[in-house]
């Protein structure tokens, strides 16, 4: 059976708690109109399809997939139409995002429970020219910010349970909203 267009009507896909699921390689061909993808607790997925994700994809949520996290931080994420990116429960990442790691198209970025994250890399954020909303929650080691300047495109920054809050407070930026 040909994989191409086997799921032409599929718009939303959640892949959760699949410890043996290894590859997303046929996803682009099988679901060309996919709009939302959630990948959660799939420890063996280690890359995205060659050529990136479907251009129709607007929302991507990745939670607790450490091999996939390493792939994104090393190779970057290619997805032209992405608007909302949610990254949750990543280990072994000390600085994020590096320049070129994330697609410039998305306007909303959520970082939650990055357990080892120490530095928010504004150099990596600067090329995200469409980024309007940045949310950082439960990054308990996040204390530093490079360049000490958030991208001008950001209109809202929500921060909760992170030591970086003190430094951002000192920047006196009216765009920053502090959550309890």
Mean per-residue pLDDT, 7-11: 86
pLDDT value at position 1? 45
pLDDT value at position 150? 82
pLDDT value at position 78? 85
Give the residue carrying structure tokens 């469409």. 130
pLDDT value at position 4? 56
Domain 12-178 - what CATH class? alpha beta
Percent of the chain with pLDDT over 70: 93
pLDDT at position 3 over 60: no
What's the chain's length in residues? 180
Mean per-residue pLDDT, 113-129: 91
Mean pLDDT, rounded, of the chain:
88
- Which one of 56-60, 74-78, 148-152 scores highest in mean pLDDT? 56-60
Whole-angstrom distance, CA of residue 72 vs CA of residue 90: 11
| Cβ atoms 62, 84 nearer than 8 A | no
Residue 177's contacts (CB-CB under 8 Å, 6 or more residues apart) are 156, 157, 158, 159
Mean per-residue pLDDT, 26-48: 89
Quickly state the pLDDT bin for 5 (edges 50, 70, 90): low
Query: Could you tell me if residue 36 is left (phi over 0), alpha (psi between -120 and 50 degrees) or otherwise beta?
Result: beta
Give the residue carrying structure tokens 């410890």. 19
């Amino acid at each position: 059976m040909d994989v191409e267009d086997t799921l032409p009507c599929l718009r939303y896909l959640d892949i959760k708690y699949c410890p043996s699921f290894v590859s997303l390689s046929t996803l682009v061909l099988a679901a060309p109109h996919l709009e939302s993808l959630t990948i959660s607790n799939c420890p063996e997925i280690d890359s995205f399809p060659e050529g990136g994700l479907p251009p129709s994809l607007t929302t991507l949520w990745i939670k607790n997939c450490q091999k996939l996290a390493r792939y994104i931080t090393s190779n970057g994420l290619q997805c032209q139409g992405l608007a909302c990116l949610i990254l949750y429960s990543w280990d072994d990442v000390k600085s994020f995002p590096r320049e070129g790691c994330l697609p410039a198209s998305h306007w909303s970025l959520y970082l939650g429970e990055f357990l080892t994250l120490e530095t928010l890399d504004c150099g990596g954020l600067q090329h995200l020219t469409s980024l309007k909303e940045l949310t950082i929650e439960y990054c308990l080691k996040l204390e530093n910010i490079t360049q000490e300047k958030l991208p001008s495109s950001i209109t809202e920054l929500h921060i909760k349970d992170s030591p970086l809050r003190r430094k951002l407070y000192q920047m006196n930026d009216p765009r920053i909203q502090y959550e309890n």
